[in-house]
Chain A
Amino acid sequence: MLIAAVAMFDSRAAFNPSAGTSPGDVGARWYPFWAATIMGIAALVVAYRSLAIPQTAAGVFEGRKSIFAVLKLALPMVVYALLIGGIGWRTTDFTYTVIPPFGFYLATALYMGVFAWWLGRYKIWWVALISVAFPLVIFAAFEIGFRVSLPKSFLYTSGILPF
């Protein structure tokens, strides 16, 4: 468990003290440098302690089940965030698209639907209802009520859907 903490900290500490000009001069880099130094020292102490004190064999997670429970939630979330914006890159004369931007509303419909179907094990018409109703309510509340513009889908740009 604490080896992981050490690894986390080492990478972070190595990442930080990127810019240090001489500490006497009050320049732009002075302050972040010392903040990073303090953090590095604190991290080293934590790391030293965690290595010096013998560990119990038990891991961070209480069994495999809990890892899966977390992953089940974390992975769809990442996919969801990627779907909203789409994946692609642009060069000077071409736009490459791996996943077209689904926009906020379509991605939400998919995301909530998958959850209800996969984790909730609802009947298919409940799944359909959930994945249609939630985005519509959000559309009404934000786009119309608060006048907040959320990311639109590739179908919006071609004029098929209002979102």
Chain B
Amino acid sequence: MEVLGDLAGGFATALHPINLAMLFIAVVLGLVIGVLPGLGGTSGVAILLPITVFIAHGSLPGSDTTTAIIFLAGIYWGALFGGVITSILFNIPGEPWAVVLLFDGFPLAKHLHKPGLALASSFVSSFLGALTSTILFTFFALPIALKALDFGPAELFAVFVLSFATLIGLGAEAPMKSLAMLALGLLLAAVGFDTITGEQRLNFGQIPLLSGISFVPVTIGLFGIGEILASAEEQGIGYVEKISARLGLGDVFEAIRELRKRLRLVLSNAIIGFFFGVLPGHGATAASFLGYGLARQYSSNKENFGKGEISGIMGPQSAADSAGVASLVPMITLGIPGSPTSAVIMAGLFIWGLQPGPVLFIQHPDFVWGLIASIYLGHLLTFIICLLAVPLLAMIMRVPYAIITPFIVVISIIGSYSLNNSMLDVFITVIFGVIGYWLRKMKYPLAPLVVALVLGDSTERELRKALIAGHGSPLYFFNSGLSTVLILVALVLVLIPLVRTIRRRRAAAAAAGSPAHP
């Protein structure tokens, strides 16, 4: 059991005082971010990303890149837990993946007067889901990474294409919109010097654009500022219904008893969530809806759903947390982010000077295993904090809009400026904030844009390496079995929505055919 030895080493790293302290701070920050409705996990991670650069380079005594990744990932874990608190207590989702909790979490808290039980059930199932996923992570990561070490440019390019295809084929939004966003991301990534020949392109003669459009200001804009603008619109509409937030030990025991009755549901949802999270581009939000559907499908008392059924809390929560953890797996092992948040974390790795992907396991084993161990610790910490501090966390909702909103803008601007000391980045953030708001409004998915932006350069590099190796012949991609299969699967995924549309058209035409339609 070599894995257990590595994991033990990882725990030694993660339990280092500075790492533990930063994990604690990160988890608390993540919970706060999760509770704030105007600020999501992805935005939180993006806004705080620049700070991690200073952590990674040793601004704090004893800190290094491992501390930085533990910090960044910890925010994500906190946000995964924290988003549900406002869903259950105030009927306002703090995070996109907490929307499902409105269906059953809020009714249980309000109509059945059991807010403590609702919160506790959500926390225990989140914890169990995340734990299952982390165990799978521990045992799957190394084999995947070792296999990926043999990949040549053709296989790598095929993997990138596959991940783009899942974004288009399995995305919730219109596939054409996903495709447009994807291409826009690739295009933005291409600005500046060409990676192979060093030629200038798309800079329109502007020298500052030569270094390319950097990922961080764009993401802070798209997510941080964009989300703030979107939530500004809802101001005045929102009416906060308050339920007192008390969580006693009795609630926790009752939740555990309820959990035992639903152990099969929670565990199977966690495993499904894991595999769902590994697929690029989805992450926790889609998994939570899937988990809710499954919980309802296999429940013996379907009519209770929507009225405060505990399965309707536990099912989606375990799937969501599991998927959140799992979205880091392809990022660490293959260098392909599984969700927008892990795309941002991956950008962090680049900035700290690490190359995500299989080589990471060999060159920086302490980094990888420290991260994995910190996932266990992070969830344990989050769980404990949640049980103890729910009333405090609920109080964050009372911080007035006129203070918290400009403060988030200020922090975003510090973040985008401090990375390169560049005012241009500040303006990029502001501009992309407006664009991000507009794209949200028009229902364009942001995930493909972010994933393509972070993968753009590597995709192009592998593509052209493969073409150079194959003397310009695209048949090179079909030389190896693996890349052929991957590209075919990608093609099928892209074609799924097309087939679906055609079928729907046919059905609609058949339906419209019988009654006279002008």
Contact B187 A27 (CB under 8 A): no
Check: B186 CB closer than 8 A to any chain A CB: yes
The chain B residues found within 8 Å of chain A, CB to CB, are: 51, 54, 59, 174, 176-177, 179-180, 182-184, 186-187, 190, 194, 196-197, 199, 201-202, 204, 225, 228-229, 232-237, 400-403, 405-407, 409-410, 413-414, 417-418, 421, 423, 426-427, 430, 433-434, 437-438, 441-442, 460, 463-464, 467-468, 472
**Chain A residues in 8 Å Cβ range of B202:** 18-19, 32
Interface residues of A in 1-56 (CB under 8 A from B): 1, 4-5, 8-9, 12, 16, 18-19, 24, 26-29, 31-32, 35-36, 38-39, 42-43, 45-46, 49
Give the distance to chain B from A32, nearest Cβ to Cβ, in Å.
4
Q: Of the listed stretches A68-76, A89-97, A154-162, name the one at the interface; the rest are far from the partner chain.
A: A68-76
25 residue pairs bridging A and B, Cβ less than 8 Å apart: A4-B442, A5-B442, A18-B202, A19-B201, A29-B201, A31-B460, A36-B183, A38-B179, A38-B183, A39-B179, A42-B180, A62-B237, A66-B233, A69-B233, A69-B235, A69-B236, A70-B233, A73-B229, A74-B437, A77-B409, A81-B430, A116-B402, A134-B410, A148-B54, A150-B418
Contact A72 B177 (CB under 8 A): no
Q: Complex: how many Å from CA A27 to CA B463?
A: 12
Q: CB < 8 Å: which of B176, B204, B460, B472 contacts A42?
A: B176
**Chain B residues in 8 Å Cβ range of A142:** 414, 418
Contact A60 B441 (CB under 8 A): yes
**Chain A residues in 8 Å Cβ range of B190:** 31-32, 35
Most B C-beta atoms less than 10 A away, residue of A60, A74, A84: A74
Contact A8 B438 (CB under 8 A): yes
Give the distance to chain A from B110, nearest Cβ to Cβ, in Å.
26
Q: CB < 8 Å: which of A31, A35, A121 contacts B464?
A: A31
Check: A147 CB closer than 8 A to any chain B CB: yes
Given contacts A28-B201, A85-B426, contact A72 B232 (CB under 8 A): yes
**Chain B minimum-CB-distance residue to A120:** B402
Contact A78 B430 (CB under 8 A): yes
Contact A28 B197 (CB under 8 A): yes
Q: Complex: how many Å from CA A111 to CA B412?
A: 14
**Chain A minimum-CB-distance residue to B199:** A28
Contact A46 B235 (CB under 8 A): no
**Chain B residues in 8 Å Cβ range of A12:** 184
The secondary structure that dominates the A interface is helix
Most B C-beta atoms less than 10 A away, residue of A12, A77, A122, A150: A77
**Chain B minimum-CB-distance residue to A2:** B442
The 3 closest A-B pairs by CB, nearest first: A120-B402, A39-B183, A28-B194
**Chain A residues in 8 Å Cβ range of B442:** 1, 4-5, 8, 60
Check: A146 CB closer than 8 A to any chain B CB: yes
Contact B197 A39 (CB under 8 A): no
**Chain A residues in 8 Å Cβ range of B417:** 104, 150-151
Given contacts A45-B176, A148-B54, contact A130 B438 (CB under 8 A): no
Q: CB < 8 Å: which of A9, A27, A74 contacts B180?
A: A9
**Chain B residues in 8 Å Cβ range of A24:** 472
Contact B176 A120 (CB under 8 A): no
Check: A119 CB closer than 8 A to any chain B CB: yes
**Chain A residues in 8 Å Cβ range of B180:** 9, 39, 42-43, 46
**Chain A residues in 8 Å Cβ range of B463:** 31
Given contacts A19-B202, A35-B187, A115-B402, contact A26 B468 (CB under 8 A): yes
Q: CB < 8 Å: which of A46, A121, A147 contacts B177?
A: A46
Contact A46 B174 (CB under 8 A): yes
Given contacts A31-B190, A32-B202, A60-B441, contact A147 B59 (CB under 8 A): yes
Contact B467 A26 (CB under 8 A): yes
**Chain B residues in 8 Å Cβ range of A74:** 229, 433-434, 437
Give the distance to chain B from A22, nearest Cβ to Cβ, in Å.
12
Known: A1-B442, A26-B468, A39-B180. 11 other contacts (CB 8 A): A18-B204, A60-B442, A61-B233, A69-B235, A72-B232, A81-B413, A81-B426, A116-B402, A130-B403, A149-B421, A151-B417
Q: CB < 8 Å: which of A19, A27, A108 contacts B410?
A: A108
Q: Complex: how many Å from CA A9 to CA B180?
A: 10
Q: Complex: how many Å from CA A147 to CA B57?
A: 12
Q: Complex: how many Å from CA A39 to CA B180?
A: 5
Check: A112 CB closer than 8 A to any chain B CB: yes
Give the distance to chain A from B473, nearest Cβ to Cβ, in Å.
11
Give the distance to chain B from A123, nearest Cβ to Cβ, in Å.
13
**Chain A residues in 8 Å Cβ range of B233:** 61-62, 66, 69-70
Most B C-beta atoms less than 10 A away, residue of A1, A12, A24, A35: A35
Q: Complex: how many Å from CA A146 to CA B441?
A: 37
Check: A99 CB closer than 8 A to any chain B CB: no
Given contacts A35-B186, A35-B190, A150-B417, contact A26 B472 (CB under 8 A): yes
**Chain B minimum-CB-distance residue to A117:** B402
Check: A124 CB closer than 8 A to any chain B CB: no
Given contacts A69-B232, A146-B51, A149-B421, contact A32 B413 (CB under 8 A): no
**Chain A residues in 8 Å Cβ range of B187:** 16, 32, 35-36, 39
Give the distance to chain A from B49, nearest Cβ to Cβ, in Å.
13
Contact B229 A70 (CB under 8 A): yes
Contact A70 B437 (CB under 8 A): yes
Give the distance to chain A from B151, nearest Cβ to Cβ, in Å.
20
